[in-house]
Every structure is written in C-alpha cells, then in structure tokens.
Amino acid sequence: MMNWLDSLRWDRDGLVPVIAQEQSSGDVLMFAWMNRDALTETARRGEAVYWSRSRQRLWHKGEESGHVQKVHEIRTDCDNDVVLLKVTQLGHKPGIACHTGRHSCFFQRHENGEWHSVEPVLKDPEAIYR
Amino acid sequence: MMNWLDSLRWDRDGLVPVIAQEQSSGDVLMFAWMNRDALTETARRGEAVYWSRSRQRLWHKGEESGHVQKVHEIRTDCDNDVVLLKVTQLGHKPGIACHTGRHSCFFQRHENGEWHSVEPVLKDPEAIYR
C-alpha cells in the first residue's frame, strides 16, 4: 500500500497548495501551503497545520489568534497536487479565518479594473493579536 | 490608479494560483494557475482562461470539452497572491469541471492513510474528449 503522503505530488519546494473551505457554509476561507510534516500533523491533530513560507516553520493555525480550524475532511484533486480541507473555523462566531479580522481572506472583489473590499471586519486585528 | 493586475503578487514564474468555486453550490470545482494574460482574458471574456503549465499556453477552460466556466466574480485574498473565481460550470447538468468526468476535481478523500474516490463520474471522459 502506497503511503497517502507519497502519492501526493509535492512541488520543487516540497509543498502542496491547500484550500480551506468552511464545511457548514461552503465559503472558501483561505489558501496556504503544507509540507509533509504539516499534512501529517493536520491529520494527526484534526486541526489545520500549515507551512509558513515567510517564517519557514510549521504554523498551527490559531496558535496566536485562537482561530483554530477543526478539520473534517482532507481531500485531494485529480492530479494529486492540491489539498482541500473542509473545516470548522473556531474561536469566534461567525468564524474569522483572516488576519485582517474578516471571515474569509477573499474579501477583495474585482470591479472595473480595481479591487474593492466587500466583506466586513468582524473583529479588530489588534484585539486578535495582543 | 494602480492597475489591478499590478497589485497582484505574481510568483517567480509570473503565475498566481486560482481556485474556481461554483457560485450556486459553493463547491470548490478545481484549482489552476493564471499568468497576466490569462487573468486579463478571463476578465475580458467573462469566462475562465487559465495558464496550462504542462502545455505552456493559455487554456480557455472548455475549449475541447465544452465545459466552459462563466465567471461571476473575481476575488483576491488579503495577500493579493491568490485568485478566487465564482463561476457557473456550463456544458452539462450538473456541471462537470474535472477531466475525469466528475463534478469537482476534489473527489479523493483521505481515510485512514488512503485516498478514496467518493464522487461519481457523471460522464465518460471518452465521450467528453472525442
């Protein structure tokens, strides 16, 4: 039996892109990256653990903010090179996935050649990261 | 006014990752990449145009299969380095985004160290790509 981690196609940096989707609403919350250790830890804990490319270390989502992602499903696509997590976003209601204090990181919408913020800030980031 | 394309953070290959989400259901259909030309064409046509990394050319989704994606919204995230499309998947009901003939490319679910296909094939790929 091939290990489920071996059957993924890790990129030249040893990473796969990861989409986190809120299970209850279907909302796409965020996008991040995982290496093998991050995905192993995500499966073991049942909580999302990403690889932070900027900090070059494992990043247990919510470790500072408390906005942990409980993982219900781990999926991959037809090419085995992308991961989709179905999650519940914990720590605030409604869930806050974005470091800007918004529900989803995808809050900017293209309109006539400009990006417009179209989702409200649910909590001041200064109150999230004290 | 900064061009909306300039404000995106293109990677070292001049690409951004793109998530296509079905507007009506919230289902994540597929994941692909765009360069500037692909995103420009997507906005102009109102249909998804990706950059095929394997073929190294623009790929108007559905050009062979007829499974075109009508684009309702183009979004980006807090880091300006990922694009989210809200689409209607045309050409079949229910929509088929995957080259395997499934609704979504994310049809493999992790269960106890193995990947399991958990979504049905809606149309034989041999009938899609004649």
Q: What is the pLDDT of residues A73-114, one digit of tens each?
A: 999 999 999 999 999 999 999 999 999 999 999 999 999 999
d(CA A13, CA A31): 17
**Residue B88 Cα, gap to closest chain A Cα (Å):** 15
Reduced to 3 states (helix: H, G, I; strand: E, B; else coil), residue B50 is: strand
**Residue in the block written with tokens 């300006």:** B80
Regarding an ipTM greater than 0.90, the answer is yes
Cβ-Cβ contacts under 8 Å, A113 against chain B: 1, 3-4
**Residue in the block written with tokens 């247990």:** A60
Q: Are A108 and B26 within 8 A, CB to CB?
A: no
Nearest Cα neighbor of A14 from A31, A42, A39, A34 is A34
Q: Give per-residue burial for A24-40: e unless 16+ CB within 10 Å, then b.
A: eeebbbbbbbbbbebbe
Return the DSSP state at A43. H
Smallest Cβ–Cβ distance between B76 and the set A4, A74, A115 belongs to A115
d(CA B79, CA B124): 39
Q: Are B74 and A19 within 8 A, CB to CB?
A: no
d(CA A18, CA A84): 6
Q: What is the pLDDT along chain B (130 residues), one digit of tens a residue?
A: 569 999 999 999 999 999 999 999 999 999 999 999 999 999 999 999 999 999 999 999 999 999 999 999 999 999 999 999 999 999 999 999 999 999 999 999 999 999 999 999 999 999 998 7
Smallest Cβ–Cβ distance between B100 and the set A3, A73, A78 belongs to A78
The percent of chain A in helix, strand and coil, each rounded to the nearest 5, is 10, 35, 50
